[in-house]
Amino acid sequence: MAQYVERTRDAQIAKLAVALHYQHLEPTAVLATALERMADSVSATQGAAANLDDHHHPRYTALLGYFLEGDDDEFWQAMSRGIFGFVMHGRRVVIVRNISTDPRWSGMPGLSLASGGSAIGVPLMSPEGDQLLGVVILTHPQIDYFSGGTARMLESMGAVTGAALSHALQMTALSESESAFRELAAVADAERVQLAHDEALRRDLSAMIYHDLRNPVQNIQSSLSGLARVLASLEKTVAHDLIDLAARSTQQMTRMIKALLDLERLEGGRAIIQRKPSNILDLLNDAVDLVRALIHDAEQTVKIEVDSELPRLLIDADMIQRVVVNLVENAAKHTPSGGHIRVSAHMTEEGLRIAIGDTGSGIPPGLRDRIFDKFFRVRYQNAPVGFGLGLAFCRLAVEAHGGHIWVESEVDHGSTFAFVLPVELKDAPSDSKRAPALTG
């Protein structure tokens, strides 16, 4: 008889294992299959199974023989007050021999037992045995129906169910994480597309504004030039100085507009360089001349020093000239009255090195790596007002020529901005001999 019972128990456990093996790894489906097989193995009439969350509240559930109407919270609250709660807290099989007299039983909505019956509660433990994953409750209309042997068989079936439920929960958590990741990725992609659209719109709008500004500024320049020619034969008055100031200001505005347009194009990766063999000494002299009035007003001096023979470089002369103008203007703005500015050009192993040094306030070490970032400005008391675009343009323009730019600085002793341009065309050397030191 004992062997028959043992074989019967093993057969029921095997049936459950096979059923769970072919069951989809979803917690509710696992609970439903296990509940049906466990109830069938003991001829139970009704049953309930639930997986518990960290607060011991039912998360995934399955019912057998219960027909609930509307919200099922009342059912699970009643269950947790009775045998369900005892199994949950004791983590062991609990048998209620007579539900009409045992205080561990609680009235359950939808229960079809007339006046009595018995019930059994089985814990569903994790494979490691250290975590309660859920509880199975089975009922039968016969009093004292569930024996010790039945309890042991259902406990073994509960262990098999616990292992399958653990795997199902892991798969569900993985699937939920994957879904959440996909949702986040979709949101990120949408934001990236929107940002790209906004950036393209901003660039187009900026380009339109810069182009629209260029024409009226050119008209102002032409008008000022014409007015200067008209007044050229007259005795010099304050009007001449005002016209000269306005002309210099419009030239500066023109350079700024060109730099902004180039900045947008260079950031967009567009090739805008128009290379031609260029004389570096002429380029430096012209650049300094454009800023000489600013240097003169600040009572500063400027000196240009170049090697006796420099090769013509294959560069966009207008763009590199604006780089030099930006750097000289920057030096003049950050150098106190009476200070000195030095512009130099020398050949090195890397290429032609052009440097603009000053005797200004210098740049703190922690800011030197960021000085060429767009919109970055060094802030200190009485610092010149600006938007932080000039040095960003210089970096992009130099890099577009295959060179690199950097700054060397000492606080309270001045700064030197230097850049190297590769010598791509070894044409005839510059047609100047050793250039005299130019001061102003």
- Which CATH number does 2-181 carry? 3.30.450.40
Neighbour tally for 335: CB within 10 Å: 21
- Which DSSP symbol is given to 365? G
pLDDT of residue 423: 86
Three-class SS state of 23: coil
pLDDT of residue 292: 87
Residue 349, Cβ density class (10 Å: 0-12 exposed, 13-18 middle, ≥19 buried): exposed
pLDDT of residue 302: 92
pLDDT of residue 268: 66
How far apart are the C-alpha atoms of 45 and 40, rounded to whole Å? 9
How far apart are the C-alpha atoms of 411 and 362, rounded to whole Å? 4
pLDDT of residue 35: 93
How far apart are the C-alpha atoms of 65 and 47, rounded to whole Å? 7
How far apart are the C-alpha atoms of 213 and 326, rounded to whole Å? 20
* Maximum C-alpha span of the chain: 134
> Contact at 8 Å (CB) between 172 and 26?
yes
**Domain ranges for the chain:** 2-181, 275-439
- Residue 436 tokens read as 């005299």
Please tell me the chain's helix, strand, coil percentages from 3-state DSSP, rounded to the nearest 5.
Answer: 50, 20, 35
- Residue 179 tokens read as 């879904």
- Taking only Cα atoms into account, the Rg of the chain, rounded to an integer number of angstroms, comes to 43
Could you write out the three-class secondary structure of 129-148? CCCEEEEEEEEECCCCCCCH
Neighbour tally for 126: CB within 10 Å: 15
How far apart are the C-alpha atoms of 86 and 80, rounded to whole Å? 8
- Residue 105 tokens read as 């039983």
pLDDT of residue 135: 92
Considering the domain 275-439, what is its CATH architecture? 2-Layer Sandwich (3.30)
- Residue 350 tokens read as 């890397």
pLDDT of residue 403: 92
> Contact at 8 Å (CB) between 418 and 405?
yes
| Segment (H or E) for 420 | strand 414-421
pLDDT of residue 68: 62
**388 closest CA partner among 397, 375, 370:** 375
Residue 43, Cβ density class (10 Å: 0-12 exposed, 13-18 middle, ≥19 buried): exposed
Residue carrying the six token digits 């406990």: 155
Instruction: Give the contacts of 140 (CB within 8 A, at least 6 positions apart).
Output: 42, 43, 44, 45, 117, 118, 119, 146
pLDDT of residue 432: 46
Residue carrying the six token digits 């930006």: 326
pLDDT of residue 227: 74
> Contact at 8 Å (CB) between 419 and 431?
no
pLDDT of residue 334: 86
| Segment (H or E) for 225 | helix 148-231
Sheet containing 301-306: order of strands:
404-410, 414-421, 352-358, 340-347, 301-306, 438-439
pLDDT tens for the 440 residues of the chain, in order: 344 446 677 888 888 888 887 777 889 999 999 999 999 999 998 888 999 887 777 888 888 887 665 556 666 666 667 788 888 888 999 999 998 888 887 755 555 554 578 999 999 999 988 889 999 999 998 999 999 889 999 999 999 999 999 999 888 888 888 888 888 888 888 888 888 777 666 666 565 565 566 567 666 767 777 777 767 666 776 776 677 767 767 766 776 676 666 766 676 666 666 888 999 999 999 999 888 888 888 889 999 999 888 888 899 888 899 899 989 988 998 898 889 999 999 999 889 999 999 998 888 887 777 888 876 666 555 555 454 567 888 888 898 889 999 999 888 888 999 999 998 644 444 444 444 444 45
